[in-house]
Chains A and B, each alone.
Chain A
Amino acid sequence: MSENTFNLDGSPVPFEPGQTVLQAALAADRYIPHLCYHPEFKPHGSCKVCTVKVGGRTAASCTFPAQAGLIIESNTEEMNALRRTLVQMLFAEGNHFCPSCEKSGNCLLQALGYDLGVTTAGFRHMFPDRPVDASHPDLWIDFNRCILCELCVRASCEVDGKCVFALSGRGITKNLVVNSPSGLLGDTDISPDDKAAHVCPVGAILPKRVGFAVPIGERRFDLSPISAQALADAPRSQTPAQPCSSCEGSE
Chain B
Amino acid sequence: MQPSDTLDTILPLRPRRPESLLQVLRDIQEIHNHIPAGIDLAVADALDVPLARVRGVIGFYSFLSSEPQGRYRLLFSDNITDRMLGNQDLLQTLCGKLWLEPGKLSEDGLVSVDTTSCTGMCDQGPAMLANGRAITRLSHHRINEIAELVRSQTPVADWPVEFFRVDDQIRQSGPLLDCGPMAGEALEAALDRSPDGVIEQLNLSGLRGRGGAGFPTGRKWAACKEASADTRYVVCNADEGEPGTFKDRVLLTRHADLLFEGMTVCGLTVGAKLGFLYLRGEYRYLLEPLQQLLDKRRQAGLLGVNIRGQAGADFDIVIHLGAGAYVCGEESALIESLEGKRGIPRNRPPFPVTHGYLQKPTVVNNVETFCAAALVTLHGGDWFKGHGTAQSTGSKLLSVSGDCARPGIYEYPFGITVRQVLTDCGAANTLAVQVGGPSGTCIGPHEFDRRLCFEDLATAGAFMIFDDTRDMFEVAHNFTDFFAHESCGFCTPCRVGTSMLKGIMAKVAAGHGTRHELDEVEQLDKVLQQSAHCGLGHTACNPTLDMLKRFRPAFERRLKSLNFQPDFDLDGALARARAMTGRDDAGAHLRTEEA
Q: Which residue of A82, A247, A250 contacts B347 across the interface (Cβ within 8 Å)?
A: A250
Rounded to whole angstroms, the CA-CA distance of A246 and B51 in the bound complex is: 11
Rounded to whole angstroms, the CA-CA distance of A179 and B51 in the bound complex is: 6
Q: Is A209 an interface residue (CB 8 A)?
A: no
Q: Which residues of A contact B503 (CB under 8 A)?
A: 124
From A26-34, A40-48, A110-118, A191-199, give the one contacting chain B.
A40-48
Chain A residues touching B, majority SS: loop
Is B41 within 8 A of A166, CB to CB?
A: no
Known: A172-B499, A246-B18, A250-B347. A85 touches B488 (CB 8 A): no
8 pairs of residues in contact across A and B, judged by CB atoms under 8 Å: A48-B493, A58-B530, A82-B531, A163-B53, A171-B486, A171-B498, A174-B490, A248-B53
Rounded to whole angstroms, the CA-CA distance of A178 and B54 in the bound complex is: 11
Q: Which residues of A contact B314 (CB under 8 A)?
A: none
From A88-96, A200-208, A217-225, A228-236, give the one contacting chain B.
A88-96
Is B484 within 8 A of A171, CB to CB?
A: yes
Q: Which residue of A45, A93, A251 contacts B491 across the interface (Cβ within 8 Å)?
A: A45
Q: Is A71 an interface residue (CB 8 A)?
A: no
Is A90 within 8 A of B492, CB to CB?
A: yes
Interface residues of B (CB under 8 A from A): 18, 41, 48-53, 55-56, 58-60, 325, 336, 339, 341-342, 344-347, 349, 355, 359, 484-493, 495-500, 503, 520, 523, 527, 530-533, 567
Question: Which chain B residue has the least Cβ–Cβ distance from A91?
Answer: B496
Nearest 4 pairs of A and B residues by beta carbon = A168-B59, A174-B489, A166-B52, A179-B52
Rounded to whole angstroms, the CA-CA distance of A90 and B496 in the bound complex is: 8
Question: Which chain A residue has the least Cβ–Cβ distance from B341?
Answer: A248
Q: Which residues of B contact A180 (CB under 8 A)?
A: 51-52
Rounded to whole angstroms, the CA-CA distance of A149 and B373 in the bound complex is: 42
Is A123 within 8 A of B500, CB to CB?
A: yes
Could you tell me the distance in whole angstroms from the C-beta of A65 to the nearest C-beta in chain B?
Answer: 7
Question: Which chain A residue has the least Cβ–Cβ distance from B50?
Answer: A163
Question: Which chain B residue has the least Cβ–Cβ distance from A168?
Answer: B59
Is B531 within 8 A of A86, CB to CB?
A: yes
Q: Which residues of B contact A85 (CB under 8 A)?
A: 523, 527
Q: Which residues of B contact A181 (CB under 8 A)?
A: 41, 51
For chain A residues 152-181, which have a beta carbon within 8 Å of chain B? 163-175, 177-181
Q: Which residues of A contact B50 (CB under 8 A)?
A: 163, 166, 179, 246-247
Question: Which chain B residue has the least Cβ–Cβ distance from A45?
Answer: B347
Q: Which residues of A contact B532 (CB under 8 A)?
A: 48
Q: Is A51 an interface residue (CB 8 A)?
A: yes
Known: A45-B347, A86-B527, A251-B359. A246 touches B484 (CB 8 A): no
Q: Which residues of A contact B41 (CB under 8 A)?
A: 181
Known: A166-B52, A169-B60, A247-B50. A46 touches B491 (CB 8 A): yes
Is B489 within 8 A of A148, CB to CB?
A: yes
Is B346 within 8 A of A48, CB to CB?
A: no
Rounded to whole angstroms, the CA-CA distance of A247 and B487 in the bound complex is: 21
Q: Is A63 an interface residue (CB 8 A)?
A: yes
Please indicate which of the listed interface residues B487, B492, B498, B567 has the most CB atoms of chain A within 10 Å of its own CB.
Answer: B492
Question: Which chain A residue has the least Cβ–Cβ distance from B350?
Answer: A251
Q: Which residues of A contact B489 (CB under 8 A)?
A: 148, 169-174
Is A47 within 8 A of B567, CB to CB?
A: no
Q: Which residue of B342, B492, B500 contacts A248 across the interface (Cβ within 8 Å)?
A: B342
Q: Which residues of B contact A90 (CB under 8 A)?
A: 492, 496
Q: Which residues of B contact A171 (CB under 8 A)?
A: 484-489, 495, 498-499
Is B487 within 8 A of A163, CB to CB?
A: no
Is A250 within 8 A of B488, CB to CB?
A: no
Please indicate which of the listed interface residues B50, B60, B349, B532 has the most CB atoms of chain A within 10 Å of its own CB.
Answer: B50
Q: Which residues of A contact B495 (CB under 8 A)?
A: 93, 148, 171-172, 174
Question: Which chain A residue has the least Cβ–Cβ distance from B568?
Answer: A124
Could you tell me the distance in whole angstroms from the C-beta of B321 to the nearest C-beta in chain A?
Answer: 18
Rounded to whole angstroms, the CA-CA distance of A66 and B48 in the bound complex is: 37
Q: Which residue of A45, A48, A126, A166 contacts B53 across the interface (Cβ within 8 Å)?
A: A166
Is A51 within 8 A of B531, CB to CB?
A: yes
Q: Which residue of B55, B59, B336, B346 contacts A170 across the interface (Cβ within 8 Å)?
A: B59
Rounded to whole angstroms, the CA-CA distance of A247 and B500 in the bound complex is: 30
Q: Which residues of A contact B492 (CB under 8 A)?
A: 46-49, 86, 89-90
Q: Which residue of B359, B487, B493 contacts A89 across the interface (Cβ within 8 Å)?
A: B493
Is B496 within 8 A of A89, CB to CB?
A: yes
Q: Which residues of A contact B498 (CB under 8 A)?
A: 171-172
Task: List 16 additional contacts besides A124-B500, A169-B60; criterion CB under 8 Å.
Answer: A44-B347, A46-B533, A48-B532, A51-B530, A86-B527, A89-B497, A124-B503, A166-B56, A168-B56, A170-B489, A171-B484, A174-B488, A178-B52, A180-B51, A248-B344, A251-B355
Q: Which residue of A47, A58, A86, A251 contacts B346 across the interface (Cβ within 8 Å)?
A: A251
Q: Which residues of A contact B486 (CB under 8 A)?
A: 171
Is A167 within 8 A of B342, CB to CB?
A: yes
Is A246 within 8 A of B496, CB to CB?
A: no
Is A177 within 8 A of B55, CB to CB?
A: yes
Rounded to whole angstroms, the CA-CA distance of A46 and B349 in the bound complex is: 16
Question: Which chain A residue has the least Cβ–Cβ distance from B498?
Answer: A171
